[in-house]
Amino acid sequence: MATSKVWFITGASQGFGRVWTEAALKRGDRVVATARNPRALDEVAGTYGDAVLVLPLDVTDRDAVFQSIGQAQRHFGRLDVVLSNAGYGYMGAIEELQPEQIKASFDTNVFGTLSVLQAALPILRAQGSGHILTVSSIGGIIGFPTGGTYTATKFAVEAMSEALAAEVAAFGIKVTIIEPGHFTTGFRAAVQSPPPIDAYNAIRQAIRSSFKPEDFGDPAATAAAIFKAVDADEPPLRLALGSTTIAKFKAVYQSRLSNWEKWEAVSNAAQGRQHA
């Protein structure tokens, strides 16, 4: 029987974080589950006892992130899977967005993720092993109208994670970017938005109308996909979740390729003359 894995999960109290925390524990792994509201995990702690360590953590507190990851490593002796999941949506048309709310969103989604990575990496390098999972989104590939700051943060997570994967491969550390499509996690209800400008109401309504009930998947079904990735000898750099997600990604990339090809002559001419 394979040795159980030790997970460190941020944003573990609700949504995907809660689903993946409980699923990992159910399969016999051990989990350090962190959340801004640790009391929300009382039931999980009561059910799984010594297999779970619940810690309070706001990922915007960099010192607390380092302390939590250090405590996690000392408690269970190692870290096998570091899952940076904490994040939220701040969405609106670009003209509507408020600078202080933009900064708060980046502080959680991007700089919170960065703190988790920087705290975990020395431990994983010393072990010569470990798997980092960063949670992106369909909005990490597709910058949709009124996606605002949320898509910008997820594009940043994608870029940071891709760079990281190449940096740490030689140390035995693996990196996978999780890209969920639409799921019934309660995410949309928790989205924050700035005061609307009426001029953008039509595009806002068009975006909302494009989300069909049948597009939303069951969050519980994603755990099996996450386990396939963390158990793989050669896990993917990117793991999309949802039956419509990859089709949407392909359409976006086909559009990008078409755009580049259409303007290729102009792009090539911008090289200028080559010096002999």
CATH of domain 6-265: 3.40.50.720
The residue type of 97 is L
pLDDT tens-place string over residues 128-179? 999 999 999 999 999 999 998 999 999 999 999 999 999 999 999 999 999 9
Q: Which of 154, 161, 174, 248 is catalytic?
A: 154
The pLDDT assigned to 275 comes to 63
Cβ contact 88:58 at 8 Å: no
Q: Which of 90, 105, 115, 150 is catalytic?
A: 150
Q: Which of 105, 136, 137, 161 is catalytic?
A: 136
Neighbours of 9 (CB within 10 A): 25
DSSP 152-203: HHHHHHHHHHHHHHHHHGGGTEEEEEEEE-SBSSSHHHH-B-PPPPGGGHHH
Side-by-side strand order, sheet with 30-35: 52-56, 30-35, 6-9, 81-84, 130-135, 173-180, 238-241
What pLDDT tens digit does each residue of the chain (276 aa) get? 458 999 999 999 999 999 999 999 999 999 999 999 999 999 999 999 999 999 999 999 999 999 999 999 999 999 999 999 999 999 999 999 999 999 999 999 999 999 999 999 999 999 999 999 999 999 999 999 999 899 999 999 999 999 999 999 999 999 999 999 989 877 776 789 999 999 999 999 999 888 887 788 999 999 999 999 999 999 999 999 999 999 999 999 999 999 999 999 999 999 998 765
- The residue extents of the domains of the chain are 6-265
The pLDDT assigned to 8 comes to 98
Neighbours of 62 (CB within 10 A): 16
The pLDDT assigned to 1 comes to 41
Is residue 90 annotated as a catalytic residue, yes or no?
no
Is residue 154 annotated as a catalytic residue, yes or no?
yes
Cβ contact 42:110 at 8 Å: no
The residue type of 242 is G
Is residue 136 annotated as a catalytic residue, yes or no?
yes
Backbone angles phi, psi at 65, to 5 degrees: -60, -50
